[in-house]
């Protein structure tokens, strides 16, 4: 075959490849949602809980399942004390990771995150928010995904922020004692290779019995786009009443100011703009017209956010779910070093 004929064949193959890519694009544009639904399916059945799982955790997971927002993996294979599915769900504001085991001794989550590119991958934000456009969370060091259940529990629960609309997979790695390799049939060749490599590296005998299981869970963020309810300062609200961070950057406040409040099945979050640089503010919610501090609701999580293209600092304060329609006084401390200083500012907040 001449060089000219080879070149012609190569050009035809290139044309066929371009046509195939275009055809795949057309198919995804027309049927992409249906195709994704086959891979990113929510749980058919609700979780069956151990007796020790508290009511509050059950209610959160069951609420997500009832709203068709709870995902689950296949039964976990490879860990000696764990065989049930891993559950994950989000309401667009927060997310929850949950699983149960015969024993969680030596079992832990070593990797967990949302795949949204190099910047956001494996960096779930603090509970009460997804990643904020044009802002970066003030976080020091690597996140340790510790179990939020009491010591000795046989269930794992962890609340974090929500994925963005571009995230399509939740990636979880769970480490623990491996299922023993017995006999010549039914063995896991990858586990055998893992043991061999550990021996060649001279790892201690205890590590030979450990393994890590990777669990990807496909998700559909479109399911929860309309779930959160917002109450936004009109100065920075878009046409739908949602927070417009670009408008905030264009017209920043010169003092701490309420930005917006958002509520969803997993909790309620209050945002403040114009946080003073270098301070660690706090915020509590008290029923309107009440003045006694013990009545206040304290946040379960909070974080500061720094503007990437503007000198603006935000802070979000995440609370357990607060009933819609309630009126509260948001008591804000500019920098609460000792936890007993009186509030510097107070605003009226209506829970959407």
Distance of CA 66 to the CA centre of its chain: 19
Return the exposure string of 309-337: e unless at least 16 CB atoms fall within 10 Å of the residue's CB, then b.
eeebbbbbbbbebbeeeeebbbbbbbebe
Place 348 in a pLDDT band, splitting at 50, 70 and 90. Answer: very high
Contacts of 72 (CB under 8 A, 6+ apart): 42, 43, 47, 85, 86, 87, 88, 217
Output the six-digit token pair for 257: 């100011």
Among 44-48, 188-192, 229-233, 325-329, which stretch is predicted with the lowest mean pLDDT? Answer: 188-192
152: left (phi over 0), alpha (psi -120 to 50) or beta: left
Q: What whole-number distance in Å separates Cα of residue 154 and Cα of residue 81?
A: 10
Confidence at residue 288, expressed as pLDDT on a 0 to 100 scale: 75
Mean pLDDT, the chain, integer: 84
Q: Which residues pair with 317 in a beta bridge?
A: 270, 302
Q: What are the helix (H) ranges across the chain?
A: 3-39, 55-66, 189-200, 205-208, 245-250
- The tens digit of pLDDT for each residue in 288-313 reads 765 444 568 999 999 999 999 889 99
Higher pLDDT, 116 or 46: 46
* Residues 67-87, mean pLDDT to the nearest whole number: 93
Among 196-200, 258-262, 314-318, which stretch is predicted with the lowest mean pLDDT? Answer: 196-200
Confidence at residue 342, expressed as pLDDT on a 0 to 100 scale: 72
DSSP state of 234: G
Cα distance between the two ends of the chain: 73
* C-beta separation of 226 from 265 below 8 A: no
Query: DSSP 3-state assignment of 257?
Result: strand
Parse the chain into domains and list their residue ranges: 55-223, 228-350
Q: What whole-number distance in Å separates Cα of residue 284 and Cα of residue 344?
A: 12
Confidence at residue 24, expressed as pLDDT on a 0 to 100 scale: 53
Query: For domain 228-350, which architecture applies?
Result: Sandwich (2.60)
In this predicted structure, the answer to whether residue 270 has a pLDDT above a threshold of 70 is yes
Quickly count: other Cβ atoms within 10 Å of residue 49's Cβ. 16
* C-beta separation of 98 from 61 below 8 A: yes
Give the pTM. 0.82
Place 222 in a pLDDT band, splitting at 50, 70 and 90. Answer: very high
Confidence at residue 29, expressed as pLDDT on a 0 to 100 scale: 47
Q: What whole-number distance in Å separates Cα of residue 154 and Cα of residue 103?
A: 5
In this predicted structure, the answer to whether residue 117 has a pLDDT above a threshold of 50 is yes
Output the six-digit token pair for 85: 């599915």
Output the six-digit token pair for 12: 């035809």
Among 126-135, 160-169, 270-279, 337-346, which stretch is predicted with the lowest mean pLDDT? Answer: 337-346
């Amino acid at each position: 075959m001449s060089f000219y004929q080879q070149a012609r064949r190569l050009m035809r193959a290139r044309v066929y490849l371009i046509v195939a890519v275009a055809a795949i694009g057309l198919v995804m544009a027309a049927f992409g949602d249906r195709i994704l639904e086959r891979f990113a399916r929510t749980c058919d059945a609700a979780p069956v809980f151990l007796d020790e799982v508290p009511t509050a955790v059950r209610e959160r997971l069951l609420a997500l399942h009832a709203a068709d927002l709870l995902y689950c993996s296949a039964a976990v294979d490879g860990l000696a004390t764990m065989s049930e599915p891993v559950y994950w769900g989000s309401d667009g504001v927060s997310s929850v990771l949950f699983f149960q085991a015969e024993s969680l001794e030596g079992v832990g989550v070593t990797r967990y995150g949302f795949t949204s590119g190099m910047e956001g991958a494996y960096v779930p934000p603090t509970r009460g928010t997804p990643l904020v456009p044009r802002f970066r969370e003030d976080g020091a060091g690597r996140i340790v995904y510790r179990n939020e259940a009491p010591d000795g529990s046989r269930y794992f629960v962890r609340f974090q922020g929500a994925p963005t609309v571009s995230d399509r997979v939740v990636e979880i790695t769970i480490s623990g004692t491996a299922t023993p390799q017995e006999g010549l049939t039914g063995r896991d060749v990858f586990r055998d290779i893992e043991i061999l490599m550990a021996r060649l590296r001279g790892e201690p005998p205890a590590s030979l019995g450990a393994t890590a299981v990777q669990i990807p869970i496909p998700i559909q963020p479109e399911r929860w786009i309309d779930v959160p309810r917002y109450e936004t300062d009109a100065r920075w609200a878009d046409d739908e009443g949602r927070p417009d961070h670009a408008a905030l950057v264009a017209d920043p406040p010169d003092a701490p100011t309420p930005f917006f409040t958002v509520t969803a099945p997993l909790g309620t979050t209050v945002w403040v703009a114009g946080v003073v640089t270098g301070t660690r503010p706090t915020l509590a919610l008290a029923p309107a017209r009440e003045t006694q501090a013990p009545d206040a609701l304290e946040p379960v999580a909070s974080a500061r956010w720094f503007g990437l293209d503007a000198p603006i600092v935000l802070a979000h304060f995440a609370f357990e779910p607060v009933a819609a329609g309630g009126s509260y006084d948001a008591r804000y401390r500019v920098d609460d070093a000792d936890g007993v200083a009186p509030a510097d500012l107070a605003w009226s907040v209506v829970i959407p």
